[in-house]
Amino acid sequence: MNCPFCEDPLIQSLRISENELAFVFPTNIPITPGHTLVCPTRHVSKLSELTKEELDALMALRGTLTEALKKTFGAEGFNFAWNEGEAAGQAISHLHLHVVPRKVGDAGIYEYEPRKFLYRPGSREVSSEAELQAVARLIAKNI
């Protein structure tokens, strides 16, 4: 299959939380501290491929995660996004919901244009494994 979300040991070690049908881990190129991904456990590429139970599980984790991000990073709001298909910017064919915690005055794009929101101009540093582990532990403490 060659899917990093399914097969990469680093991503598996970064799981912050999970339920029977979905899991959460920090993205390696965050827009803001705490930017995480919520994925179904089963490998699907589109939202329409999820069962009702999988969608419910994904949304339940999203809810748990947002509460943890409020406690961990003082999030005052959130951007939620996913891309479906290469033309829409989906680089990994495993469906994933971006959860981006936001505070008034933080950096990044606020208007909703998916390519600007997820791939804003300028450089974004790739986080080190140690930084990802630390973020995962911080958020997991509040779940």
Residues recognised as catalytic: 96
Query: Which region, left, alpha or beta, applies to residue 122 given φ > 0 means left and ψ of -120 to 50 means alpha?
Result: left
Name, in order, each residue with C-beta under 8 angstroms of 137's C-beta and a sequence gap of 6 or more. Answer: none
Q: In what order do the strands lie in the sheet with 17-18?
A: 17-18, 22-26, 36-40, 97-102, 77-81
Q: Which residue has the tokens 């994904």?
A: 58
Residue length of the chain: 143
